[in-house]
A and B are shown apart, each in its own frame.
Chain A
Amino acid sequence: MNADLQKALQKFYGYDNFRTGQEEILESVLKNRHTLGVLPTGTGKSICYQLPAFMRSGQVIVVSPLLSLMEDQVKQLRARGFKRVAALNSFLDYEDKQQIMRKLQNYDLLYVSPEMLQNDYLINRLQSLHIQLFVVDEAHCISQWGQEFRTDYLRLAEVIRNLGNPPVLALTGTATPEVQVDIQHLLGDLDMDKHIYPMDRENISYFIREVQDQQEKNETMLALLRKIQAPTIIYFSSRNMAESTAAIIRANMPDMPCAYYHGGMENEDRILIQQQFLSGQLQIICCTSAFGMGVDKEDVRLIIHYHLPSDKESFIQEVGRAGRDGEESVSVVLYSPGDWQIPIHLIEQDLPEQDSIQQMLRFLYQRVKAGQLELPSYELLIQHIPISETQWRFLLYQMEKHDIVKGNHLHYKANAWKDFLDQIEKFVGNRKRHKLKQLQRMKEWVYTDSCRRQALFADFQSEVRPAKGRCCDNCGDTLADWQSVLTNVQPEHTGWREQLYHLLQQ
């Protein structure tokens, strides 16, 4: 083991040993090699770029699409006493952004959202720094075959070039071989050292419970919660369902503190709920996929999917939040036949309809003809064309790629526009087909009668390790003999006097 690295790990984090993969990736990074690291979520990717930031001179830039994760990490680092860290993203107001950008040299570690990198002033400022490492977190987002394709990730190759080709570290928790190749290619055909680690988890077992309707789903869920009696995350695809089911659980199981969490809540409340779960005040969280990133709780025993996500990668990530302490943990999918409508609907919503693309082009063309070459704002556009902001950003990027939009202006050339329309329709069609195929794979996994562990991870790694405890329902395992280890729930204080005393006088 590299003694310096280990000393640094001890010094900055207080950990004695590296987890699988961390040391290898760090060594590659410290040799200034371009590096691709695939590490299962929750095993500690962030150390791979934080440690270099603390150990060496020069800035580390981290591009991450997950704004809340970014904020969490900055907060955690500050809480540990690392102050030379900041996050630049759309959460900040203008003043704060400017202030950080003016003083970039004051930060050793700078998180930025991909859309911030469109800001020329920022690029300019970044060019004046000595960037020791450029990190692309959640690198699978760059691939249209990854589960969370982000068009603004496609520009990263250009950004990296503009910054004078600093060493790049691309990190992801999940990437099929296909996506790995794509990442390398789209980041500018970098020559990368690859460090790929298996993402199967030996201590998680997989179960599917088929139910006929919502009532049966709820009953099954409640029975399960009573059986396992341990920290649990329940995933939903809608905010409303997360809220209403949390209420059902509270009504039925007053001893199991439960709350909901989703992206529609105020930031302050999100922090509270998250912290309550971490501290053990809450046993059960009903949430959307917004919960979990950066939530680092070791003893989550049960992950229930009340609704399934639309691809296996997301599912693996969500399930991966269980059993980080290595103790046996369980994934249960509650599945009823009608459930597939929801993800199909979501896929449709994500990408623009052919109709709206045509309408949009017609609208833009009218403006060009009237001599208004300036790009309309999104607010103006939606008064005429029914598209979401994500769809608009997607189209904007595509129009820039086809030279229909340059800077803030429209350029009209009949051929280019015609080509654009053809290509974009093809592109959208492909994306939809791809997503539906992903969904189909998820579905096949639900219906498979071979080992679920094998079936889940076979696409991602050549060999899947056997389970340490229970494996899956198809292998004949059950939860009937599950021994719940009661986690000690905090004592309830009775009345405000006692509570105030406890807070300030004990």
Chain B
Amino acid sequence: MLLASIIIHAAQPIRQERSAASIYHLLQGKRSAQTLQDAHMYGLTHLFGIYPKLSRQVFDKLAANIMQEEGQDIKKNMPYFNGMAYQSQTEPFLYRLLLLVQLLSNQTKGENRYIPVTDNPAIQHWIKQLYRQEQHRLDDWRNGVYEELYGLLEELPQIQAELFVDRLTGYHHIGLTTVQLAEKYHVHDTDVLLYQTSTIHHLLQHAETDTAAFPHLAALMDRPQHKIRSITSTAQKTRTMLERGMSVEQIALVRGLTENTIKDHIVEITWLDGEALSSKFISDTDAAVILECAMQAGTNKLKQIHALLEGKYDYFQIRLALALRKEQEVKA
């Protein structure tokens, strides 16, 4: 079962230090500073938010066994995920694509009476706009979408391509539900959704990095940079205020939040943006000292590091240093 392998994979680095619930929040994409930090700290950003609808019960049942047994085989070909980059785009992109395929397939047969596969008004509106602009080039779209999908699905394991295409609805052909797909391909319901997410991430990744080769799929993506949007909007506000030169105390006061919350925001932003902001709060040398200590002790536990350094640095600084680590590793 794919979900189980993913949990095992995530449990590997996390198990010692964080609870199973943190994996749940990670997969489910909880937009909290803590979860975002976990994702970065344990190198699990690709799994962030890959399963927003994951039920707590299903998770708990699986996780109970997994968290106990150590050192299981994790090198089962893990499908491609890039949750941190794409989680907020996955669903809109998927539904735009589904609705677009339905439209193109029906339109070429001159059929315009069909029930749209999604009720979501925002998606319907989006596709309607596209239709208005592009109605004279629908054949290009149809061929373009076909070729781009064909090429990118070719690169995936067969199961993923099958699951994806069977879900598409078009002229006189209605896509299958999750339950039907699970039955047809003998996989678990949850895995149908995970494979689907993986497929979408795969499409998104190519559409984003090679827009020239995949112009039609790229057009279905959201325009604004996803990097900014993966920061919680409240942290984003804090960043703006810091950039305007306000202090932590001032921001806390103005926003009616505690200073600790503001510090959480700063750590969160540091995970994503590196030292741009953190340099105001911790120097390079101090960060290096803390990271050295963490590495030698082989831990990410704040309390332990705090004690080892005999209280010279506060928790905030330690968290910032850990957040910077990835940056430095990359530089090195």
Chain A interfacial positions (CB closer than 8 Å to B): 75-76, 79-80, 96, 250, 259, 267-269, 271-273, 275-276, 279, 281, 490, 495-497, 499-505
Contact between A96 and B115, CB atoms less than 8 A apart = no
- Residues of A near B101 (CB, < 8 A) are 503-504
Q: Least Cβ distance of B227 to chain A in Å?
A: 29
Residue in A273, A275, A501, A503 whose beta carbon sits within 8 Å of that of B171 in the complex: A503
Q: Least Cβ distance of B181 to chain A in Å?
A: 11
Residue in B115, B143, B149 whose beta carbon sits within 8 Å of that of A76 in the complex: B115
CA distance A252 to B104 in the complex (A): 37
Contact between A268 and B118, CB atoms less than 8 A apart = yes
CA distance A281 to B170 in the complex (A): 13
CA distance A271 to B153 in the complex (A): 26
Residue in A272, A279, A499 whose beta carbon sits within 8 Å of that of B165 in the complex: A499
- Residues of A near B175 (CB, < 8 A) are 272
Instruction: Convert B89-121 into 0s and 1s, putting 1 for each residue whose CB lies closer than 8 angstroms to a CB of A.
Output: 000000000000100110010001111111101
Contact between B178 and A271, CB atoms less than 8 A apart = no
CA distance A496 to B157 in the complex (A): 12
Q: Least Cβ distance of A284 to chain B in Å?
A: 13
- Residue B42 at the A interface, CB < 8 A? no
Contact between B162 and A490, CB atoms less than 8 A apart = no
Residue in B117, B165, B178 whose beta carbon sits within 8 Å of that of A500 in the complex: B165
CB nearest to A80 among chain B residues:
B113
Contact between A496 and B153, CB atoms less than 8 A apart = yes
- Residues of A near B288 (CB, < 8 A) are none
Q: What are 23 contact pairs spanning A and B, CB under 8 A?
A: A76-B115, A80-B113, A96-B121, A250-B183, A269-B178, A271-B115, A272-B175, A272-B176, A275-B115, A275-B169, A279-B173, A490-B173, A496-B158, A496-B161, A496-B164, A496-B166, A497-B150, A499-B168, A500-B153, A503-B168, A504-B104, A504-B142, A504-B146
Closest 9 CB pairs of A and B: A496-B165, A503-B170, A504-B146, A269-B177, A275-B174, A276-B174, A496-B161, A79-B113, A496-B162
CA distance A96 to B121 in the complex (A): 10
CA distance A504 to B169 in the complex (A): 10
- Residues of B near A269 (CB, < 8 A) are 177-179
Contact between B145 and A273, CB atoms less than 8 A apart = no
Contact between A79 and B115, CB atoms less than 8 A apart = yes
> Which of A76, A268, A276, A496 gathers the greatest number of chain B CB atoms within 10 Å?
A496
- Residue B172 at the A interface, CB < 8 A? yes
Given contacts A250-B183, A269-B177, A496-B153, contact A504 B166 (CB under 8 A): no
- Residues of A near B176 (CB, < 8 A) are 272
- Residue B180 at the A interface, CB < 8 A? yes
CA distance A503 to B175 in the complex (A): 11
- Residues of B near A496 (CB, < 8 A) are 153, 158, 161-162, 164-166
CA distance A273 to B117 in the complex (A): 11
CA distance A79 to B172 in the complex (A): 15
CA distance A272 to B142 in the complex (A): 22
CA distance A505 to B150 in the complex (A): 12
Contact between B173 and A503, CB atoms less than 8 A apart = yes
CA distance A505 to B170 in the complex (A): 11
